[in-house]
Structure 1
Amino acid sequence: MVEGMRMDLWKSRYINFDELYIYCYYVAGTVGLMSVPIMGIAPESKATTKSVYNAALALGSQIN
């Protein structure tokens, strides 16, 4: 997340989606990843830990 904040200091436009994805990972995806341990995973959930973390990461980079 800190790396994303550093990126804000020197860059404000991204040439392509690959560059934008990296930025989104740092500023939004990492927030999702850090939120999982705080919010937890419901004991009755059938989702794997890996799928929960992947979903949390995707929240920062989904384009709909």
Structure 2
Amino acid sequence: MDTWKMRYDNYEELELYCHYVASTVGLMIIPIAGISPEHANSIETIYEASLSMGLANQLTNILRDVEEE
């Protein structure tokens, strides 16, 4: 998306961009970090939290870049 789109018309488009560039990184961290066997949440909840973490990290990066530019 970086090669053909420079501006996003709404939050849904921005969220999709963030998913592609960062939420998937959150998913890749799960096998590396592992999941505690005594964790009370379901696997689905852990994966959803991981996706949200990636989204939050990318939104933070974008906001930081806006300030610099």
- Scaled to the shorter chain, the TM-score interval is 0.7 to 0.9
More helix by share: 2
Unaligned runs of 5+ in 1: 1-6
SS at match of 2:13: helix
Supply the RMSD in Å over aligned alpha carbons: 1.7
Unaligned runs of 5+ in 2: 60-69
User: Out of 46, 55, 59, which is 2:49 matched to?
Assistant: 55
Normalised to the residue count of structure 1, the TM-score between the two structures is 0.79
Structure with bigger gyration radius: 2
Alignment coverage as a number of residue pairs: 58
Normalised to the residue count of structure 2, the TM-score between the two structures is 0.74
